[in-house]
Amino acid sequence: MFAPRPKKLLDVGGNTGKWALHCLAQDPDVEVTVLDHPGQLQQLQKNAVAAGLAARLRTVPIDLLDHTRAFPTGFDVVWMSQFLDCFAEPDIVRLLERGRAALAPGGRLCVMEAFPDRQPNEVAGLSASQGRACTFPAWRTARAACTTRRTSST
Ligand SMILES: C[S@@+](CC[C@H](N)C(=O)[O-])C[C@H]1O[C@@H](n2cnc3c(N)ncnc32)[C@H](O)[C@@H]1O
């Protein structure tokens, strides 16, 4: 992910900042913005101060299911890790659309998910499916819906 030297990263549903802090430590030119509930972000701020990385971190408390709220914009990478699978398909489509709108030209929207139906090991598949509904076909459908809307709205 760091090969093209991205500078501005947006972590959607970044929780208490494991990924954000790792990215900030990786490259002194990187700035990370994290969207999440206020409680998670308070803990993230504490973690960032403790790690000496708070200066390049921005946090935006938000209800991510309020689709009227646009994400901040101009990012080289929008990152959604183990996040979309919390939601129903219509919300996933809207979140992907808002994520795409947050990208700078040439930016990348990266999704990391443990799809329960794509685990080679049966136990891993069962573990990944605990309380989660987003299978790989469901993700493909949501992504296609997002692409179709973009094509028809431009
Ligand atoms: C399963 S955790 C993933 C955390 C992190 N991205 C990771 O890969 O470990 C989902 C995150 O999404 C956040 N989240 C879920 N629903 C949200 C909502 N409606 N508004 C804001 N944040 C939400 C949770 O607070 C949590 O931090």
What is the assigned CATH class of domain 8-113?
alpha beta
Q: What pLDDT, on a 0 to 100 scale, did the predictor assign at position 154?
A: 39
What is the distance between the alpha carbons of residues 30 and 111, in angstroms, rounded to a whole number?
19
Q: What pLDDT, on a 0 to 100 scale, did the predictor assign at position 113?
A: 84
87 close to ligand 1 (CB < 6 Angstrom): no
Instruction: Tell me the whole-structure pTM to 2 decimals.
Output: 0.85
Per-domain residue ranges for the chain?
8-113
Q: What pLDDT, on a 0 to 100 scale, did the predictor assign at position 153?
A: 44
Q: Which residue minimizes the CA distance to atom 8 of ligand 1?
A: 81
Q: What pLDDT, on a 0 to 100 scale, did the predictor assign at position 8?
A: 98
CB 27 within 8 A of CB 47: no
Q: What pLDDT, on a 0 to 100 scale, did the predictor assign at position 117?
A: 72
User: Distance from the CA of 36 to the center of ligand 1, in angstroms?
Assistant: 6
* DSSP result, 33-87: EEEE-HHHHHHHHHHHHHHT-GGGEEEEE--TT-TTSPPP--EEEEEEES-GGGS
Mean pLDDT, consecutive 10-residue stretches, the chain (154 aa), reads: 93 97 97 98 98 98 97 98 88 95 96 76 64 64 64 47
In this structure, what token pair is assigned to residue 72? 């901040």
